[in-house]
Chain A
């Protein structure tokens, strides 16, 4: 499996993925192996926390095993089969279990925390936090700009960093955007997409949410390749690293409060709506990076079977 080498501690390897990129996949392709690391690089976790994680991993594994893979529709129903292949979600039952778990975590923990954050800190303060955190990601943005073959955008990223770190008081104020240098936030999954690497089957990652093998690999590599994190981890400053991780999470969740509430409120099937939104958004981001300045409108004609009446 492609991403086992970047597996973050919380991340389960899913055996199903191996053969799914092949054009046809049957139930037999779905042999289920769960290879989680039972020993996350432990120095920052107490034994008790480790035990808790262990219990949770075991429970989650059991649930995943029970859920398994989706059964493809029979051959005599070509429309259903086409739909199944287009959804490209052979792990759906498993994904749904993880999605439920994430949602529960969100309802009882993340969302209330984000709401509290919004209540305590006014918009101005939240923007400063977001700008500061964004400025710290410059090395990753810069690298991705270059990997995407866009040196001029990489130049903009550097200019932004210099301006925002100085006149913007250590990145607290994004002064570059009003000066005509708006930010771009490339990531490694997007870079892979620009290179023409396909997304693979839909995945819901524990805690991190909607993804796919391509984006999960990107996420994993960025998690270990961030120079600032690397420095912090090597200088006994893991608490800074985790603080950054925690505050980023809260800040991002706050930014999506209204949008996610809207999706949840208006959709009939929250899981499927999120799957569709994630895919479309990622494709749009890759198109944007691939053809800067051009808008590629998704065409419903690319979708199977539109009944034409008239």
Chain B
């Protein structure tokens, strides 16, 4: 088992070494379906190897997750979408605070979710173009028991050619849209004040930390 994980990791590093410069170059030309899929495969594999690495302490693991999340998710874009109309009324300071807290909540949430990891694997099935520089990568998570779970990744390519995730759609449920409804409601119950939302987010972070 350990050897297999190691083999996977080694293969992956090799793939990553080949794939990253390739996608970098591709920025000047056109990206292919394969680039988009490779990005998701690599992301899933890195997440899984982080979880599977029993050498890591909890703090180190959280740190790995944070780096992985920040480098592969377009947090500002997702954050703007989640705050929607309140983004414009927020001061630049509030916007930055919001993005930071949003990042914290996501890192804690995903770290917790991955604690329930039971050997699931992710397999990409294809990718379709989504706007100018976007792709939707179709994938499924295979479990030891039960039917596979369909997951779509909405990703966007930035000017330097790197990809970033802007949404994850699990069984037809969009993470970004759910966050947005949730946060809009939290905003409204606090009278539409951004500072109250930030306070609620800080409280949530404390709860997540205490539970983790």
Residues of A within 8 A of B (CB): 79, 83, 87, 123, 127, 177, 182, 258, 262, 265-269, 271-273, 275-277, 280-281, 283-285, 287-288, 295-298, 300, 303-307, 309
| Cβ distance B171 to chain A, nearest Cβ, rounded Å | 6
Output the least CB separation between A275 and chain B (Å): 7
Q: Is B155 an interface residue (CB 8 A)?
A: no
**A interface majority secondary structure:** helix
Q: Is the CB of A276 within 8 A of B177?
A: yes
Name the distance in Å between B97's Cβ and chain A's nearest Cβ. 15
B172 partner, pick from A79, A177, A273, A283, beta carbons under 8 A: A283
Q: How far is the CB of B82 from chain A (nearest CB, A)?
A: 10
* Proximity bits, B171-194, A CB within 8 Å = 1, else 0: 111101110111111100100000
Contact of B73 with A by CB under 8 A: no
Question: Residues of B within 8 Å of A, CB-based: how many?
Answer: 43
B152 surroundings in chain A (CB, below 8 A): 295, 297
* Distance between Cα atoms of A303 and B177 in the complex (Å): 8
- Whether the Cβ atoms of B177 and A285 lie closer than 8 Å is no
- Beyond the given pairs A182-B147, A298-B177, 13 more chain A to chain B contacts, judged by CB atoms under 8 angstroms and listed by A's residue number, are A266-B105, A266-B109, A269-B182, A276-B181, A276-B182, A287-B172, A300-B167, A303-B177, A304-B84, A306-B80, A307-B83, A307-B87, A309-B80
Most B CB within 10 A of own CB, among A79, A272, A303: A272
Query: Residue B169 at the A interface, CB < 8 A?
Result: yes
| Residues of A close to B84: CB separation below 8 A | 304-307
Residues of A near B4 (CB, < 8 A) are none
Given contacts A266-B208, A297-B136, contact A303 B178 (CB under 8 A): no
The answer to whether B178 and A277 touch across the interface, beta carbons within 8 angstroms, is yes
User: CB-nearest residue of chain B relative to A177?
Assistant: B147
Given contacts A268-B200, A300-B81, A300-B167, whether A284 and B185 have CB atoms under 8 Å apart is no
In the bound complex, residues from chain B placing their C-beta under 8 Å from that of A265 are 112, 207-208, 211
Of the listed residues A266, A281, A283, A306, the one surrounded by the most CB atoms of chain B closer than 10 A to its CB is A266
A287 vs B204: C-alpha distance when bound (angstroms): 34
B150 is an interface residue with CB less than 8 A from chain A: yes
Contacts of B3 in A (CB 8 A): none
- Once the chains bind, are B189 and A269 in contact (CB under 8 Å)? yes
- Pairwise interchain contact B167-A273, C-beta atoms closer than 8 A: no
Is A305 in contact with B173, judged by CB distance below 8 angstroms? no
Q: Is the CB of B167 within 8 A of A280?
A: no
Contact across chains for A258 and B180 when beta carbons are under 8 A apart:
no
Q: Are A307 and B172 in touch, CB under 8 angstroms?
A: no
Q: How far is the CA of A309 from the CA of B90 in the complex (A)?
A: 14
Min distance, Cβ B84 to any Cβ of chain A, angstroms: 6
Q: Roughly how many angstroms separate A152 CA and B88 CA in the complex, as a whole number?
A: 51
- Name the A residues within 8 Å of B208 (CB-CB): 265-266
Among A177, A287, A298, A307, point to the contact of B174 (Cβ < 8 A): A298
Chain B interface main SS type: helix
Partner of B171, one of A266, A281, A307: A281
By CB atoms of chain A within 10 A, which of B84, B113, B145 has the most? B84
* Chain A CB within 8 A of B201 CB: yes
Cross-chain pairs A/B with CB under 8 angstroms, 30 sampled: A182-B147, A265-B112, A265-B207, A266-B109, A266-B204, A268-B183, A268-B185, A268-B204, A269-B183, A271-B185, A272-B185, A273-B178, A273-B182, A276-B180, A277-B173, A280-B177, A281-B171, A283-B172, A284-B173, A295-B152, A296-B172, A297-B152, A297-B154, A298-B173, A298-B177, A304-B84, A305-B84, A307-B85, A307-B88, A309-B80
What CA separation (Å) do A298 and B116 show in the bound complex?
27
Known: A262-B113, A284-B171. A267 touches B182 (CB 8 A): yes
- CB-based contact A295/B138 at 8 Å: yes
Cα A87 to Cα B187 with chains together (Å): 14
CB distance from A125 to the nearest CB of B (A): 13
Contact partners of B116 in chain A: CB under 8 A = 258
Could you say which residues of chain A place their CB within 8 Å of the CB of B201? 268
Contact A280 B138 (CB under 8 A): no
Return B153 CB to nearest CB of chain A, in Å: 10
Closest partner residue, chain A, to B173 (CB atom): A280
Whole-angstrom distance between the Cβ of A77 and the nearest chain B Cβ = 10
For A309, the closest partner residue in chain B by CB is B80
From B181, which residue of chain A is reached at the shortest CB distance?
A276
Q: Given the complex of chains A and B, what is the CA–CA distance between A268 and B113 in angstroms?
A: 17
Q: Which residues of B contact A267 (CB under 8 A)?
A: 182
In this complex, what residue of B is CB-closest to A303? B177
Within 8 A of A (CB), among B21-44: none
Closest 5 CB pairs of A and B: A284-B172, A272-B185, A276-B181, A268-B186, A269-B185
Given contacts A265-B208, A266-B109, A307-B85, contact A280 B186 (CB under 8 A): no
